[in-house]
């Protein structure tokens, strides 16, 4: 069970640290960390938990990553559902704590019709910069595919595994720097689900994209690495 608890707490930290930075620290006048700071915060959550609990569970913290690792032959099918359940529950728990803390501010309110409400992901009118559903899908698909390529390459047996967490964390930072204006950045169905539950409204209706696009992208990224990039002993 320790691997499931590791995924729970790892995903909790990702949502709490990443979405928490967006909710509490990004928009403070003059002192706010801005979207670049939020991007770094997401990367740091994965980097820190990769070293803290990665040796226990593999450090997925993301259903799309679990699917991508399965596709590449690095993860057994029987563990997919337990990992995904652990990740989603961890994300929801973190969002719940974020909500309780945010509720301690007198003027706190969630406007489910506004872009980025409660750090949720969206497209169209719920995209931070008004990007279409098609643009959002393509961005999430491509970015998750490359995220898996980085993960698989950094954790390859021929790579220097001591630096894998750094490479993966910085990759997630870069992904956020690119796509926060497009979708508020998902590439992680558990992260999207946790925030959509509390944001409500159309965010629930749009949640399908933030499951389908990242998972498809991860599967394609896993296949690309396995068949086109993976180094074999005779290479």
List, for residues 164-200, the tens digit of each pLDDT value: 999 999 999 999 999 999 999 999 999 999 999 999 9
pLDDT in tens, 145-166: 999 999 999 999 888 888 999 9
To the nearest 10 degrees (0 to 180), the angle between helices 63-71 and 209-224 is 30
Spatial CB neighbours of 126, under 8 Å, sequence gap ≥ 6 = 114, 115, 116, 117, 120, 202, 203, 206
Cβ atoms of 175 and 187 within 8 Å: the answer is yes
Q: pLDDT at residue 128 above 80?
A: yes
Q: What is the pTM of this model?
A: 0.96
Average pLDDT over residues 27-39: 89
Q: Is the pLDDT of residue 233 over 70?
A: no
Q: What is the pLDDT, as a whole number, of residue 160?
A: 83
Dihedral of CA atoms 120, 125, 127, 133 in degrees, nearest 10, equals 110
Q: Which residue has the tokens 């399965």?
A: 70
Separation of alpha carbons 72 and 155, rounded Å: 12
What pLDDT, on a 0 to 100 scale, did the predictor assign at position 179? 98
User: What CATH number belongs to 2-229?
Assistant: 1.20.1080.10
**Length of the chain measured in residues:** 235
82 CB-side CA count, 13 A: 12
Rounded to whole angstroms, the maximal C-alpha distance in the chain is: 64
Q: Is the pLDDT of residue 8 over 70?
A: yes
Q: Is the pLDDT of residue 232 over 80?
A: no
Q: Where are the alpha helices (DSSP H) in 1-155?
A: 2-20, 34-52, 54-57, 63-71, 80-102, 133-154
User: Can you read off the two tokens belonging to residue 234?
Assistant: 């005779």
Cα–Cα dist 154/58, whole Å: 13
Cβ atoms of 174 and 114 within 8 Å: the answer is: no
Q: Which of 28-37, 56-65, 79-88 has the lowest mean pLDDT?
A: 28-37
pLDDT at 41 over 90: yes
- CB contact burial 74-88 (16+ within 10 A = b; e otherwise): bbeeebeeebbebbb
Please say if the pLDDT value at position 71 is more than 80.
Answer: yes
């Amino acid at each position: 069970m320790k691997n499931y608890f590791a995924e729970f707490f790892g995903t909790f930290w990702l949502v709490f640290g990443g979405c928490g930075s967006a909710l509490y620290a990004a928009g403070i006048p003059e002192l706010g960390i801005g979207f670049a700071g939020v991007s770094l915060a997401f990367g740091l959550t994965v980097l820190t938990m990769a070293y803290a609990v990665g040796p226990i569970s593999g450090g997925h913290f993301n259903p799309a990553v679990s699917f991508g690792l399965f596709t590449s032959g690095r993860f057994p099918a029987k563990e997919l559902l337990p990992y995904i359940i652990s990740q989603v529950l961890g994300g929801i728990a973190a969002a719940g704590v974020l909500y309780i803390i945010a509720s301690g501010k007198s003027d706190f309110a969630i406007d489910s019709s506004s872009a980025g409400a409660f750090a949720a992901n969206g497209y169209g009118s719920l995209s931070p910069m008004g990007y279409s559903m098609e643009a959002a899908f393509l961005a999430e698909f491509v970015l998750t595919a490359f995220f898996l390529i980085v993960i698989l390459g950094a954790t390859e047996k021929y790579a220097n595994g001591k630096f894998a967490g750094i490479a993966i964390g910085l990759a997630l930072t870069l992904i956020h720097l690119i796509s926060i204006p497009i979708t508020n950045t998902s590439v992680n169905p558990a992260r999207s689900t946790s925030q959509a539950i509390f944001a409500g409204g159309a965010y629930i209706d749009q949640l399908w994209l933030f499951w389908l696009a990242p998972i498809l992208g991860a599967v394609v990224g896993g296949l690309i690495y396995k068949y086109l990039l993976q180094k074999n002993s005779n290479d």
